[in-house]
Amino acid sequence: MAFSFTFTFHLLLLVPSVVYVYTSPVQDPELVVQEVEKSINGSRRKLGYLSCGTGNPIDDCWRCDPNWERNRKRLANCGIGFGKNAIGGRDGKLYVVTDPSDNPMNPKPGTLRHGVIQEEPLWIIFKRDMVIKLHMDLLVNSYKTIDGRGATIHIAGGPCIKVHNKRNIIIHGIHIHHCKRGGSGYVSDFPNHRTWSARSDGDGITISGGSHVWVDHCSLSNCFDGLIDVVHGSTAITISNNYMTHHNKVMLLGHSDSYKDDKNMQVTIAFNHFGEGLGGRMPRCRFGYFHVVNNDYIHWQHYAIGGSSSPTIFSQGNRFLAPNDEDHKEVTKHFKSSEGEWKKWNWRSEGDLMLNGAFFTPSGAGATARYDRASSMAARPPLLVPSMTAGAGALRCKNGHLCGH
């Protein structure tokens, strides 16, 4: 495919393969965080510093502003893709997290849990660096933004984030790792209400029955189940600019092969960096429509993009670097179906860059048809993917300075 494009670069770096130093998880969350920080900082030095002008439309919308702290809510106008209308807590007050402790039944003012369960819109920020070890899933209410800019925020060592039947949520700039399964019990979901919560799956972020949700610039690794799961009829979702490493089953989009309500799911996966130590599911899709655009895949052990139950997948402008293993060069994987069945599924690759023998197996009538719904966003040329994704993951942001690594 021929591309036509015009924009100005402040800086263009072609990024080499990232080296991520992995250390086996330890029980003390503080020690876990230290190891994760050490690994991320090392890889960031290799990625280089990019602030704006890269062609990444999200970053170019807000990262060129050294006064980002005074203009935090500008971020809510920078979304792209199917989740672009997620406004989070844009129309509410600022809520400052000052206390990293967690009490699922009676959350204290100043804690993250106390903020996310409020009924009114809130833009949640953090007073200082902190490690938050949750004791139950963090049930995020509608019209909330969790904005980690200006501090280094880790959610680690316990259950993590869940969006259940809520809408208009932005999760930005958080380190989420070593998430564990939690026990069942009562947990606060509103200021004066508790709900029974079953045992959690151990995902980094679960979006169940949610809509208009945007997950941006988070760093995710080493969770019990998935890094991000989008299930039970969720739609209008964008997952962008995230930095994902060291996990087997990365991202599940669609609950099960029998849950047909997921046929209305629409998800955009854009500008993410899929790094070292990933197995597959980047993503694994069911039933819905999925636009996978301008992501950087530098490693997979089994496959990159897979699915079952006839999902529609449009892979556009991505960079795929296949592993050296000759048995796993294929980007795509079809689950639980015969060849005669999956050849009817609409899977299309357009303008992808295939390296080291990587190849994509297209299928279905959609392989030659126009994908009108892919107008969720326009793809950039894949040769620009290294620069557009060099800022993936949680950023270091200091007031008066551009956000970088």
Catalytic residue among 281, 284, 319, 380: 281
Q: How far is CA 310 from CA 12, 130, 333, 337, 389, in A?
A: 39, 43, 12, 9, 29
Q: How far apart are CA 328 and CA 333, in angstroms?
A: 10
Contact indicator for 308, 286 with CB cutoff of 8 Å: yes
First to last CA, the chain: 34
Instruction: Kindly report the number of other CB atoms within 10 A of residue 160's CB atom.
Output: 29
Ranges of H-type helices in 250-365:
339-342
The DSSP letter of residue 331 is S
Indicate left, alpha or beta for 236 from its phi (over 0: left) and psi (-120 to 50: alpha): left
Contact indicator for 178, 222 with CB cutoff of 8 Å: yes
User: In the numeric block, which tokens belong to residue 78?
Assistant: 């920078």
User: In the numeric block, which tokens belong to residue 181?
Assistant: 């399964």
Contact indicator for 293, 318 with CB cutoff of 8 Å: yes
Q: Which residue has the tokens 């949520």?
A: 169
370 is catalytic: no
Q: Which amino acid is at 36?
A: V
Nearest to 312 by CA among 371, 228, 377: 371
By annotation, the residues acting in catalysis are: 281
